[in-house]
Amino acid sequence: MTGKVFRLPTEAEWEYAVRAGTTTTFSYGDDISRLNEYAWYWDNSEGKTHPVGQKTPNVWGLYDMHGNVFEWVEDDWHDTYKGAPADGGAWKDEQRGAYRVLRGGSWASMLASAGRPVAASTGLRSSNIGFRLSRSVALGPWQGMHLWGWIYT
């Protein structure tokens, strides 16, 4: 519809975006008592997903990075990060497996920025799974430099 190419973010890109320059448990800090401001989770979700943008975004303006729905990323599932690409690219096996990575937690589960991702079958469908689209944009004369734009659906 737009003529632009969109894709799922890599797991590394997703974690970079959720952290928004922080090293804390959540993108807004370590104070779990503030979670209600930023996330839909078990205690406040009424057991369902909610429209995007009703909670406070992280400092980069990204909504619902904690909770609401798990989000698909491009990477294949691996038990550890040993052997993961150092450049932030998607970790895809030569022969794609049946499991991919979900990040972010949902209204019913984990929420921390560095929370261990979940392995999910590519055929899995659920009301607490969604996706965020990314678009690589070349920035001027800098070759290899990209800006990731995020669209949440």
CATH assignment, 1-153: 3.90.1580.10
- Give the pLDDT confidence of 20-69 residue by residue, as tens digits: 999 999 999 999 999 999 999 999 999 999 999 999 999 999 999 999 99
Structure tokens at 59: 């400092």
Compute CA distances 30 → 17, 27, 54, 121, 151, whole Å: 17, 8, 21, 32, 26
pTM: 0.83
- Give the pLDDT confidence of 70-101 residue by residue, as tens digits: 999 999 999 988 999 999 999 999 898 889 99
Map out the domains of the chain as residue ranges.
Answer: 1-153
* Residues present in the chain in total: 153
Select from 15, 144, 1 the least CA-distant residue to 81: 15
First to last CA, the chain: 15
Element (H, E) at 146: strand 146-152
pLDDT at 139: 63
- What is the maximum alpha-carbon separation in the chain? 49
Please report, as a single letter, which amino acid is at residue 88.
G
